[in-house]
Amino acid sequence: MCYKLAPVGTDAAFQRARRPEQKQQRQDAILDAARQLALRDGVRNVSLTDIAEEVGIHKSALLRYFETREQIFLELTAQSWLGWAQALHAGLDGGSPGSADLVADVVARSFADRPLLCDLIPHTALNHERHVSTSAVRRYKLTSLRAISDAADVVRRVLPDLTGDECREFISTMANLAGSLWQIANPPPALARLYTSDPDLALACVDFVPRLRRTAVVLLAGMVPSRSSA
């Protein structure tokens, strides 16, 4: 993603960030700080002030690089989608044709290995896309839709009996489920203790990878047989 940066002003802390590569360094430092805080505290708990403090700059200086807190997280989400698509390539390029179980394994693991992406997904439509400019949403959408298309193509090379639309449908559904299941599978400690200690609440405990993998297997098994149902 390429963001057009606002011109850097005369603020002492940022005087040296005049060349494009220096601006890029600032931007990367902000994204790194947001990533670390979100992984430690959860996306919901990270404010713009937290990020500015972590980078060691003033909030007003940070806002020369990003429109809002939400744009920082949208950019992190876009970057995460690209890394996620690469992981699907790594796990599936060269996979034996026809192995739906391999696809289910790799797709489930691609989300399990990316807790930040899983945490970011439900916040995207709910919050982040609602607090940035339309052009920032457009850039984000182009990246995420391309990653989904890329992932669907990877799946289709392993499962050539499926259509392109079916592979995209599979990947989109898995992404939405990964986002919602991850929140349910990672409750705060007090609730985790409640769910494991109270037999009436046993079904509230969700084991992320097996559940996601199982749904992938069911979806892939259902694609061809369901074609007759309009």
User: Residues in the site for a copy of itself, rule: CB under 8 A?
Assistant: 44, 100-101, 104, 121-123, 125-127, 129-130, 134, 137-138, 141-142, 145, 148-149, 168-169, 173, 176-177, 179-181, 183-184, 187-188, 190-191, 194-195, 198, 200-201, 203-204, 214-215, 217-223, 225-226, 229
Scored b (16 or more CB within 10 A) or e, 126-162 reads eebbeebeeebbebbeebbeebbebbbbbbbebbeeb
How many Cα atoms sit within 13 Å of 118 on the Cβ side? Answer: 23
Nearer to a copy of itself, 39 or 201 (CB): 201
- The C-alpha atoms of residue 127 and residue 23 are separated, in whole angstroms, by 27
Nearer to a copy of itself, 12 or 203 (CB): 203
Nearer to a copy of itself, 27 or 144 (CB): 144
Nearer to a copy of itself, 25 or 135 (CB): 135
As measured in angstroms, the least distance from the Cβ of 225 to a copy of itself is 4
From 193, 221, 197, 217, select the one nearest 103 (Cα to Cα): 217
Q: Which residues contact 213 (CB under 8 A, 6 or more apart)?
A: 104, 105, 107, 108
Nearer to a copy of itself, 21 or 200 (CB): 200
As measured in angstroms, the least distance from the Cβ of 17 to a copy of itself is 31
Nearer to a copy of itself, 10 or 229 (CB): 229
As measured in angstroms, the least distance from the Cβ of 204 to a copy of itself is 5
As measured in angstroms, the least distance from the Cβ of 149 to a copy of itself is 8
Structure tokens at 79: 């970057």
Contact 108, 87 (CB under 8 A): no
Q: Which residues contact 108 (CB under 8 A, 6 or more apart)?
A: 209, 212, 213, 216
As measured in angstroms, the least distance from the Cβ of 196 to a copy of itself is 13
As measured in angstroms, the least distance from the Cβ of 219 to a copy of itself is 6
